[in-house]
Structure formats: C-alpha cells, structure tokens
Amino acid sequence: MIVTISRAYGAAASAVSRRVADALRYRLVDDELPVVAAAWLGTSADVVQTLSERPVGFGERVLQQLGGGVPEAAQPPAVDPVSAQTRAAIEGAVREEATAGDAVIVGRMASAVLGRRPDVLRVFVHAPLDWRVAHVVESLGVNEQAARAEIARIDEARRAYAREGYQVAWGDPRAYDLVVDTSRFAIDGAAAVIVAAARAAGA
C-alpha cells in the first residue's frame, strides 16, 4: 500500500506523515524525492525544491525563453522546459519509490502521478489559515506577518504546480480519498485517522 499525503503549508503534515509511517511500519518518503530527482537532473536537491515549490510567473517564463529575442518569445510558452524536466524527474522518483511498496510519500503531487490505483490511498492534510499561521510562528520562530507571507507563497506554488502540471485543482476534496483537518484532530489524531483508512483499504 502507498499512502500519498498532499498538504496545505503549515498544517503539520510532516509530523502527521511521520506518525503514519511509524504506525504502519512503512518507509517515509519526503526529503528523499528532491535528492533522487536532482541526481537524475545532475543538479542539487535545493534547486529541485525551489523549482517545485515557488510560483513561476508569465514574465519570468518569457525571460527564460528569450534566448536572443526570438519573436516566439512574445507568446506565452506552452511548456516551461525547466519545469517540465524537473517535473519528469520528480515523477520518476515518485514511481520508483512506489514500486518498492509500503511507503508514505509526502507531496510532489504523488497522488496525481500515481493516480487512482487500488493500492494508493490519496490524502490531503489541511487546517484553517489562522491555525496554520500559529503553527508556523511556533515552529519557525517567525512573526505572524512572515508566517502569513510564507503560507501564501508556498500554497500558491503548490496550486500552480498542480494546475499547470496536472490540470488538478490543488486541495479539491474530489481529488483525494481522504481529507483530514489537523486543527480538529491534532497531529496524533490526524495520523490515527489516516492509519485507520489505510488499514481499511488493505494496508
């Protein structure tokens, strides 16, 4: 069984994922994905992390395409080759980890990459904005303004990544098998809900 965990930034999904993996005795695949993808691309994990977790605007994509000012650059590029290459590497890393079985895979649109397979439980972990702000403030030791700005930045990056790469509305409950609110159940409770769902699905 593969459990994919998509998440709203600041919803404590990393902690939830660790508890799920421990309870199921599954591998936790989180930071490893950018490392594997980076090895395929011949770059660093930080580059992969940055490319997949920040929005790239139209103006930036145009500048990336200029290459001497060719006329085609005046039109919106259909595909950003850097993002496409990075996305392909990440998808390959996700599939490779899934092939090994019994894993909790965090982020990287693994739910869309693996699709509606019977051996995949697709989970979205979220919480109200104020709860997430408080969690980021406490976890990172930043002020509320900085926390709100970082949440907005990361959420928009993930929304754009899902929309542009997979034509999926990020966070739409219809794209997942289970949606869990960390503010309602707390970290341990949210993990317990996911574990119960995974076992009911055949874990």
| Tally of domains within the chain | 1
Residue 201 lies in a domain: no
The pLDDT value recorded for residue 148 is 93
Residue 104 lies in a domain: yes
CA-CA distance, 31 to 28, in Å (whole number)? 9
Residue 49 lies in a domain: yes
The pLDDT value recorded for residue 16 is 96
Query: 3-class SS at 179?
Result: strand
Residue 202 lies in a domain: no
Full-model pTM: 0.76
Residue 141 lies in a domain: yes
pLDDT at 203 over 80: no
Residue 185 lies in a domain: yes
pLDDT one-digit tens code per residue, 60-111: 333 333 333 333 333 333 334 346 777 787 888 888 889 988 999 998 889 9
The pLDDT value recorded for residue 201 is 92
CA-CA distance, 63 to 176, in Å (whole number)? 36
Residue 53 lies in a domain: yes
pLDDT at 194 over 60: yes
CA distances from 40 to 63, 93, 141 (A): 25, 9, 35
pLDDT at 174 over 60: yes
The pLDDT value recorded for residue 189 is 97
Q: What is the mean pLDDT of residues 133-154?
A: 90
CATH of the domain at 155: 3.40.50.300
Give the range of the structural domain holding residue 52, as residue numbers without chain letter.
Answer: 2-189
User: What phi and psi, each to the nearest 5 degrees, are found at residue 73?
Assistant: -70, -15
Query: 3-class SS at 21?
Result: helix
Q: What is the mean pLDDT of residues 12-16?
A: 93
120-126 and 103-106 beta bridge pairing = unpaired
Residue 195 lies in a domain: no
